[in-house]
Amino acid sequence: MDQKRILLIVGGGIAAYKALELTRLLRKAGVGVRPILTAAGAQFVTPLSLSALAEDRVYSDLFSLTDEAEMGHIELSRSADLAVVAPTTADLMAKLAHGHASDLASTTLLATDKPVLMAPAMNVRMWEHPATQRNLDQLRRDGVRFVGPEEGAMACGEYGQGRMAEPQAIFDAIMPLLGGAARPLAGKRVIVTAGPTAEPIDPVRLLTNRSSGKQGYAIASALAGLGADVTLVSGPTALPAPAGVRRVPVETAREMLAACEAALPADIAVCVAAVADWRPESAGTGKMKKGSGGPPQLTLVENPDILATLSKDSRRPRLVVGFAAETDDVEAHAAAKLEKKGCDWIVANDVSVEGTMGGDENAIAIVTRGGIERWERMAKGEVARRLAQRIAEELK
Ligand code: C5P
């Protein structure tokens, strides 16, 4: 990696502190970091910290005679293999989407002929604003790659999408773009199911559950990061499709099964979705009316078990992984599930621990026919990265 270099543009935002950690991770991996600090960015981190970690000087002024003498902005923009903007403000997105070149950062982004990766960080309302979303669409069409933003609590006290991706996740998105990452799953086809299913009761009512899809999406993303060709069959979630993943949106369990079968043959299947066990027998074509006869009786019928079906398929993937959300006696139930479903691993998690369902952390145990591996509690992104590595080792 020694010969690889990134141009790291640090925009203004509280997430700028994470750019320091990103710099450290990149340097540790032997990647050169040439930092550009915007005027707003310099309100949050100092040029000295950035320069010390990057082991390079920090560029910030478009019209600095010294900089121009040493390295003009055009040369600067070409001096790296990849431009990374972390944090990317709404302003930086708007500037590049519209082709502004009003400071060193925007001029460099406009002048570069190298790939650009943006890690947006902003208030949720700024992120959701139609102007920002239009700029996002435009930038994507122009070939800009994105990592994050993620959903969570914000420094401004609000909650929602807009938190910058964690340094490790940005690092993981950078490495394949530099072409230097280990891609142990290159050429492997993977099916990941994620999110809840939604089973219609009538045209307006649904039977569904609280699954956020976060863990499944993080796993799909981590597997793609290792080079896998990932089909993410997803029930309804509020999450953006991870970069480099083919997402197939579905609603019901039966649609999810059909989408999985259509994605066969595959080398690996990871069933993370919280599939509804039952669905109303008939959804009817008209909205059920309140009547004098009291509430309607719903007749439920069993849904297909996608994990069990994939495990039995004649084109069975070599490795089939299921998840088990349990509230008690987690590992014993997981071991029983392994047999019942016919899969190779069950990743058990204790959802009785507060914050697991819909939260950002997970404590899991991998139950295989060979035994149990218990992992300490960690962020769902970290669980995903380690699980993807573990899967890659298994397939070696
Ligand atoms: O039986 P239980 O729902 O606890 O099993 C959980 C595992 O089975 C998960 O991997 C889930 O994705 C999968 N599953 C499935 N289809 C169903 C029910 C569960 O694929 N109908």
Catalytic residue among 156, 260, 271, 343: 156
DSSP state of 329: S
Active site residue 156: yes
Q: Is the CB of 324 under 6 A from ligand 1?
A: yes
The residue that leads in pLDDT, 155 or 182, is: 155
> Do 141 and 226 fall within a single domain?
no
Q: Beta strand pairing status for 319-326 and 268-271?
A: parallel
Instruction: Say whether both 232 and 381 belong to one domain.
Output: yes
Which of 307, 341, 364 for a ligand 1 pocket mutation test, highest count of atoms within 8 Å of Cβ?
Answer: 307
Helix or strand (DSSP H, E) at 229: strand 229-234
Residue 288 lies in a domain: no
Atom of ligand 1 nearest to the CA of 276: 21
Question: Residue 268 — φ and ψ, nearest 5°?
Answer: -140, 140
**Contacts for 355 with CB less than 8 Å, ≥ 6 apart:** 361
Residue 249 reports pLDDT greater than 50: yes
**CATH code, domain with 360:** 3.40.50.10300
Give 311 Cα–ligand 1 centroid separation in angstroms: 12
Q: Point out the domain boundary residue: 178, 212, 233.
A: 178
Q: Residue 389 pLDDT > 80, yes or no?
A: yes
Q: How many angstroms separate the alpha carbon of residue 218 from the centre of ligand 1?
A: 18
Residue 299: predicted pLDDT = 94
Dihedral, 170, 175, 177, 179 alpha carbons, nearest 10: 180
* Domain match, 163 and 242 both: no
**Ligand 1: distance of its center to the CA of 344 in Å?**
14
CA–CA separation, 164 and 156 (whole Å): 13
**If you average pLDDT over residues 42-55, what whole number do you get?**
92
- Candidate from 91-100, 121-130, 242-251 with smallest mean pLDDT: 242-251
Together in a domain, 165 and 20: yes
Q: Are both 150 and 261 inside the same structural domain?
A: no
Host H or E run for residue 189: strand 189-194
Q: Tell me what the mean pLDDT of segment 365-372 comes to.
A: 92
Q: Domain holding 139: CATH number?
A: 3.40.50.1950
CA of 149 to the centre of ligand 1 (A): 29
Q: Is the CB of 306 under 6 A from ligand 1?
A: yes
Token pair for 57? 């000087």
Tell me which of 9-13, 229-233, 270-274, 294-298 is least confident: 294-298
**Which atom, in ligand 1's list, is nearest to the CA of 321?**
10
Of all protein residues, whose CA lies closest to atom 2 belonging to ligand 1?
A: 324
What tokens were used for 115? 């790939």
Mutating to test ligand 1, I would choose from 199, 219, 306, 364 the residue with most ligand atoms within 8 A of its C-beta, which is: 306
Q: At which of 147, 178, 209 does a domain end?
A: 178
Q: Number of folded domains in the chain?
A: 2
> Is the C-beta atom of 367 inside 6 A of ligand 1?
no
Q: Which residue has the higher pLDDT, 69 or 37?
A: 37
User: Which are the contacts of 114, defined by CB distance < 8 A and separation ≥ 6?
Assistant: 7, 77, 78, 80, 81, 82, 83
Q: Is the pLDDT of residue 165 over 90?
A: yes
In a domain, 286, yes or no: no
Residue 150 lies in a domain: yes
Of 155, 178, 201, the one marking the end of a domain is 178
Q: Same domain, yes or no, for 244 and 165?
A: no
211 shares a domain with 144: no
Query: Would you say the CB of residue 191 lies under 6 angstroms from ligand 1?
Result: no
* Number of other CB atoms surrounding residue 362 within 10 Å: 27
Kindly give the pairing relationship between strand 268-271 and strand 189-194: parallel
CA of 385 to the centre of ligand 1 (A): 22
Query: Of ligand 1's atoms, which has the minimum distance to the CA of residue 277?
Result: 21
Are 372 and 366 contacting, i.e. CB atoms less than 8 angstroms apart? yes
The residue contributing the CA closest to ligand 1 atom 4 is 324
Alpha carbons 142 and 109: distance in angstroms, whole number: 12
**387 and 270 part of one domain:** yes
Q: Any idea what DSSP says for residue 299? A: P
Evaluate whether residue 197 is within a structural domain: yes
Query: Would 287 be classed as within a structural domain?
Result: no
pLDDT score for 356 = 61
Residues 329 and 201 in one domain: yes
Cα→Cα distances 251→27, 55, 119, 195, Å? 44, 50, 30, 10
> Is residue 224 domain-resident?
yes
- Together in a domain, 243 and 379: yes
pLDDT at 85: 98
Is 77 part of any domain? yes
Give residue 175's pLDDT: 87
- Does the residue 184 lie in any domain? no
Domain identity same for 328 and 236: yes
Ligand 1 near 348 CB (within 6 A)? no
Peptide bond into 149 cis (omega under 30): yes
Q: Is 346 in the pocket of ligand 1 (CB under 6 A)?
A: no
How many angstroms separate the Cα of 347 from the Cα of each of 28, 48, 339, 371? 31, 45, 13, 12
Start-to-end CA distance of the chain, whole Å, equals 24
Do 205 and 347 belong to one domain? yes
Nearest CA to ligand 1 atom 5: 324
For residues 282-296, give the mean pLDDT.
85
Q: What pLDDT sits at residue 182?
A: 66
Establish whether residue 273 lines the binding site of ligand 1, counting it when its CB lies within 6 angstroms of any ligand atom: yes
- Measured in angstroms, how far is the CA atom of residue 327 from the centroid of ligand 1? 15
d(CA 59, CA 46): 12
Question: What is the Å distance from ligand 1's center to 278 Cα?
Answer: 12
Q: Can you tell me the mean pLDDT for 214-221?
A: 93
Residue range of the domain that includes 44: 5-178
